[in-house]
Structure 1
Amino acid sequence: MKTPRSCGFLIVKGDPIHSFLLMKHPNRWDLPKGHVDPGETDLECALRELEEETGIGADDIEIMNDFLFENRYVVSGKRYDLGEGSVEKTLRIFMGRLLRDVDLLLTEHDSYHWFPWQPPHNVQEKTINPLLASVEDYLQNR
């Protein structure tokens, strides 16, 4: 059975990190991310979505190759043309450090915000908070 999978990026500034980027939907904050196209790797998807939704290209970031966040949660099958009931969705998030200032070009979001890196974070319970906690663990253990 087909299972929905989304990939995206957490974009951070600074070393050590001093801020991170979130995109504003009408009712919530989110990451630049989207669904994997047929034949596309997770990283290719994440890079494509990042550029489509923000204008940030692969040459604008340093990918933190030793970090990958994965989360699984239940969504409506109807949303993905998978029929009635619930299905498990996989979310994979890469992390990239912005190498230079970039004028963001928003195509799918109302606005954006650079949030200060001040853990613990309380932004969005299902995906953002666990991601940021995972980043904090990564930073403490590298």
Structure 2
Amino acid sequence: MPQTRACGFLIVKGNPIESFLLMKHPKRWDLPKGHVDEGETDMQCALRELEEETGITAEDITVDPNFRYELQYVVNYKKKFGGEDALKTVVYFLARLDRDVELNLTEHGDAQWFDWNPPHTIQEQTIDGLLAAVAEHVEGSK
């Protein structure tokens, strides 16, 4: 089975966390993320995708060096891999927004800041587990 890799961020506001950012696709919520380019590290990819999709730059955030969340699932790529299924690995990092930034959405129709009030039930496959892992990480950091 072909494999693909993507990286992105969960961006939060507040300390302790008050809210988190999700991007709106036509049928679901998602996070700013994208495929790793050749020669790029996971972090470089995540930072590039964050800026490309939201306008948030590395200077606007503080990355939590102790958090990394990885998941895998099967995706059918209609164009890439000729319509075959592929095993997708996604790596998410956690970062706090240090200052208000006007979002510049380039790939999503909308974005929303959701109140931080775990447990969250938003999207089972990719988001709920990440949010649960962040909640556990934050509790363990106290």
TM-score, L = length of structure 1: 0.94
Residue 90 (1) aligns with residue 96 (2): no
Is the Cα–Cα contact under 8 Å of residues 2 and 81 in structure 2 kept in the other structure?
A: no
Alpha-carbon separation, structure 1, partners of 2:112 and 2:73 = 25
What are the within-5 Å matches in structure 2 for residues 34-113 of structure 1? 34-76=34-76, 78-81=78-81, 84=84, 86-113=85-112
Unaligned runs of 5+ residues in structure 1 are none
CA contact (8 A) 1:4 1:80 kept: no
- After alignment, is 75-84 or 107-116 more displaced? 75-84
Q: In structure 1, how many angstroms separate the alpha carbons of the residues matched to 2:3 and 2:39? A: 15
* Unpaired segments ≥5 residues, structure 2: none
Is residue 77–residue 83 contact of structure 1 (8 Å, CA) maintained in 2? Answer: yes
Q: Counterpart in 1 of 2:124?
A: 125
Q: Deviations over 1:8-65 (max 9, x none)?
A: 0000000100000000111111000000000000000000000000000000000001
Counterparts in 2 of 1:44 and 1:57: CA distance versus 1, 3 Å: same
Q: C-alpha distance in 1, partners of 2:65/2:79? A: 32
**Measured at CA, do residues 69 and 79 of structure 1 come closer, stay the same or move farther in structure 2, by a change above 3 Å?**
farther
User: CA 1:28–1:65 in 2, change beyond 3 Å: closer, same or farther?
Assistant: same
CA distance in 2, matches of 1:110, 1:83: 25
- How many residues matched? 141
Aligned to 1:18: 18
Q: What amino acid does structure 2 have at the position aligned with 1:128? A: I
**Which AA in structure 1 matches 2:10?**
L
Q: Percent identity?
A: 60
Partners of 1:99 and 1:63 lie apart in 2 by 10
Distance 1:79 1:66, change over 3 A: farther
Aligned equivalents of 2:3, 2:33: Cα separation in 1: 16
Residues 69 and 100 (structure 1 numbering): CA distance in 2 closer, same or farther, change over 3 Å? same
CA distance in 2 between counterparts of 1:111 and 1:78 reads: 24
Q: Is the 2:2–2:86 contact (alpha carbons within 8 Å) kept by the matching residues of 1?
A: no
Deviations 1:65-100 (A, max 9, x none): 10001001111255531663x331100000110000
TM-score between both structures, scaled by the size of structure 2: 0.94
